[in-house]
């Protein structure tokens, strides 16, 4: 690779998503491919990309059927883009959307492409159901049998319980605990109270409800299957309603509930990225520039409280490279997988003692008035691979409306991973 190659600035110039829907509601019969195609076609129509060859479309889904092996490419072929547009699937759990943005941004920065689309989709309603392991083995053995008699003998080994399909489990392979189970440990370890969590969740709903009322999302969404807004949003939510909910994971002494945790969700999002030259040619305004990004991972099998705290490491590394401090930003977009996870992250950043556990000095406090100002995942909900696109789009629009400034993104992910990013205007 030519070491003297000019690094191009990478701009966010567009966005589109479909409203997010709670599991088994509006999109119960919508597949990953259908939802992703819908989000992409909405973007294509909004920015007049019909018939054009885009440098690349990158994205993915966390939960896939075998038919989704070439999900993004097949979705592109169903859009109004020129079919000569290449596509690639990638996946990093809840960080998939932001990783797709990084993938496209790096290609633009290196001059490999002039523009690209980062996208993500997930359906928790249309999940792959697999055969019971005993049934699978019997069917394989029957298939290998040489005579009809042998096949019949094998088939008669099937028991009624073997016929029940097995749904995917939302558990970490190395610990056997769900993300919520891990976050309960996080809340206890870092002293995050139920009241703090419920108040944080309430604010998320209130902020997003206000954003919808003011029309902030009008040019960001393509209505789909009767939905015009995220159906997890509870504009009438109150602290009393949230505080009345029973614990969802630790039934005896837990503080995480269905109200202060994100639900399983269906949805899709997309973000249009470009070089300055391409944006100028297309007469598209630069909303914001992507200037820094960092991924990180953390050990969480022994220290189970750390599953969703890898952004602590990523943030420290990124700010050091950017020569910025945590207080330098106008907006902060932190993915709200759980209220407890966000509050624990903030607490670690503020505490020298807690930060030292991760090998860093405290980053300091942020102005909470600048945090997730249009609501977050607790209100919008969280279709795993689609959340990153929603967050990048929201921050880019905020910076464009302000006309200047810096924005910071932090997204935690399963597997003890995390990603951070800086947008500037």
408, two tokens: 């910071």
Q: Which residues are catalytic?
A: 94, 382, 412
Are the CB atoms for 56 and 73 separated by under 8 Å?
no
- The CA distance from 198 to 193, in Å, is 9
On whether the CB atoms of residues 58 and 389 are closer than 8 A, the answer is no
Strands 331-334 and 406-413: parallel
Cα-based distances in Å from 252 to 104, 147, 257, 311, 339: 46, 56, 12, 30, 19
Measured distance CA(80)–CA(74) in Å, rounded: 12
DSSP 8-68: PPEEEEEEEEPPPEETTSTTTT--HHHHHHHHHHHHHHHTT-TTPPPS-EEEE-SS--GGG
* Cα(314)–Cα(395) distance, integer angstroms: 19
Alpha-carbon distance of 102 to 116, in angstroms, equals 11
412: which 2 tokens? 């935690």
Tokens of 345: 């992250």
**Side-chain-side CA neighbours of residue 171 (13 Å):** 9
DSSP assigned state of 231 = T
User: Rounded to the nearest 10 degrees, what angle do helices 339-350 and 310-322 cross at?
Assistant: 50
Name the residue among 41, 106, 127, 99 with its Cα closest to residue 386.
99
Cα dihedral 159, 164, 168, 174 in deg (nearest 10): -30
Measured N-to-C along each axis, helices 148-155 and 133-144 cross at an angle, to the nearest 10 degrees, of 170
For residue 124, what are the β-bridge partners? none
Q: Exposure of 96 by Cβ count < 10 A (0-12 exposed, 13-18 middle, 19+ buried)?
A: buried
* Token code pair at residue 269: 């999002």
């Amino acid at each position: 690779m030519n070491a003297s190659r000019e690094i191009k600035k990478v701009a966010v110039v567009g966005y589109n998503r479909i409203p997010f829907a709670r599991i088994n509601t509006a999109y119960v019969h919508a597949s990953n491919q259908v939802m992703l195609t819908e989000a992409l076609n909405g973007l294509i129509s909004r920015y007049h990309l019909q018939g054009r060859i885009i440098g690349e479309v990158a994205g993915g889904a966390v939960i896939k059927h075998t038919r989704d092996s070439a999900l993004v490419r097949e979705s592109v072929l169903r859009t109004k883009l020129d079919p000569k547009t290449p596509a690639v699937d990638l996946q990093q759990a809840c960080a998939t959307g932001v990783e797709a943005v990084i993938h496209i941004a790096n290609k633009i920065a290196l001059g490999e492409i002039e523009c690209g689309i980062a996208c993500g989709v997930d359906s928790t309603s249309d999940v792959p159901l697999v055969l019971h392991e005993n049934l699978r083995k019997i069917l394989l053995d029957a298939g290998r049998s040489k005579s009809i008699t042998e096949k019949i003998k094998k088939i008669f080994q099937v028991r009624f319980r073997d016929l029940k399909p097995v749904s995917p489990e939302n558990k970490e392979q190395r610990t056997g605990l769900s993300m919520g189970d891990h976050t309960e440990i996080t809340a206890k370890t870092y002293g995050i109270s139920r009241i703090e969590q419920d108040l944080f969740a309430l604010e998320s709903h209130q902020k997003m409800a206000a954003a919808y009322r003011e029309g902030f999302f009008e040019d960001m969404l393509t209505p789909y299957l009767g939905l015009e807004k995220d159906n997890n949003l509870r504009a009438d939510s109150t602290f009393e309603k949230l505080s009345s909910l029973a614990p969802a994971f630790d039934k005896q002494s837990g503080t995480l509930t269905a109200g202060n945790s994100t639900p399983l969700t269906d949805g899709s999002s997309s973000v249009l990225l470009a070089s300055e030259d391409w944006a100028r040619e297309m007469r598209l305004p630069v909303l914001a520039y992507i200037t820094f990004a960092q991924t990180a991972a953390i050990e969480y099998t022994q220290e189970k409280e750390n599953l969703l705290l890898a952004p602590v490491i990523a943030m420290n590394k990124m700010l050091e490279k950017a020569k910025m401090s945590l207080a330098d930003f106008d907006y902060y977009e932190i993915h709200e997988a759980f209220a407890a996870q966000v509050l624990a992250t903030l607490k670690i950043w503020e505490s020298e003692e807690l930060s030292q556990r991760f090998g860093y000095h405290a980053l300091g406090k942020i102005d909470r008035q600048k945090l997730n100002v249009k609501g977050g995942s607790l209100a919008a909900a969280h279709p795993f691979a689609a959340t990153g696109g929603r967050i990048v789009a929201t921050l880019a629009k905020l910076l464009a409306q302000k006309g200047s400034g810096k924005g910071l993104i932090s997204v935690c992910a399963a597997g003890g991973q995390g990603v951070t990013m800086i947008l500037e205007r």
